[in-house]
Amino acid sequence: MKTLNFLKATVLVFSIFISQNFLAQEKSKMVGGAEMYPSKNIVENAVNSKDHTTLVAAVKAADLVDVLTSEGPFTVFAPTNKAFNMLPEGTVSTLLMADNKMKLQIILKYHVVAGKWNAKEIIALIKKGKGKAAIKTVSGGTITAWMKGKNVYISDENGGKAKVTIADVNQSNGVIHVIDAVLLPRPTM
């Protein structure tokens, strides 16, 4: 019995060591005070970022969790809480209401691009486009990537712009680029 318990304890310790070693070897990035692991999906990582609690609440309210946990791949331009706070007062709480679910879905999908586009690929597109790259979003709208110095910016259809503050946060189903403003699609009505 002692030998069996010793073996179980040894296997448990070894398993913990292996899993911690695996996570330590992943090229994680810190976002919102939490490590973002490439072996986790977009939602599994985002829920740990204290800088993205508003985005996570919006994804839940828009019933997009299943989409963003699916295989993808997706490129997400993820606005921070500060970005959402820059919207006119009451905008976020209004968008989170059940009656505005479709509008919220359109806005959130406007931040998502099909495929996994790392910063190097986006910069190559910008150079190929002689300074600008028009990118179709999952919502059907278009965002424009451009550079100022070494920084990548994303413009929306209304002239709003967001700076990429943290690039290439790899996920199991895509990549996140953290941005400092909310992108807004052209009104459909």
Report if residue 186 sits inside a domain. Answer: no
> Does the reported pTM lie above 0.95?
no
Report if residue 57 sits inside a domain. Answer: yes
- Look at the block and give the residue holding tokens 């791949």: 73
Report if residue 11 sits inside a domain. Answer: no
The total number of structural domains in the chain stands at 1
Report if residue 10 sits inside a domain. Answer: no
Task: Mark residue 48 as left, alpha or beta (left: phi above 0; alpha: psi -120 to 50; beta: remaining).
Answer: alpha
In whole angstroms, give the CA distance from residue 109 to residue 128. 25
Q: Domain span at residue 160?
A: 29-179
Q: Which residues lie below 8 Å from residue 166, measured CB to CB, with a gap of 6+?
A: 29, 31, 177, 178
Report if residue 110 sits inside a domain. Answer: yes
81 three-state secondary structure: helix
Report if residue 64 sits inside a domain. Answer: yes
User: Tens-of-pLDDT digits for all 189 residues of the chain?
Assistant: 555 455 454 444 444 444 454 444 457 787 877 788 888 888 888 888 898 999 989 999 999 988 888 888 999 999 999 999 999 999 999 998 999 999 999 999 999 999 999 999 999 999 999 999 999 999 999 999 999 999 999 999 999 999 999 999 999 899 999 999 999 998 754
Helical ranges in 62-176 per DSSP H: 65-69, 81-85, 91-95, 101-109, 119-128
Strand 74-79 and strand 174-179: pairing?
parallel
Answer whether 68's CB lies under 8 Å from 103's CB: no
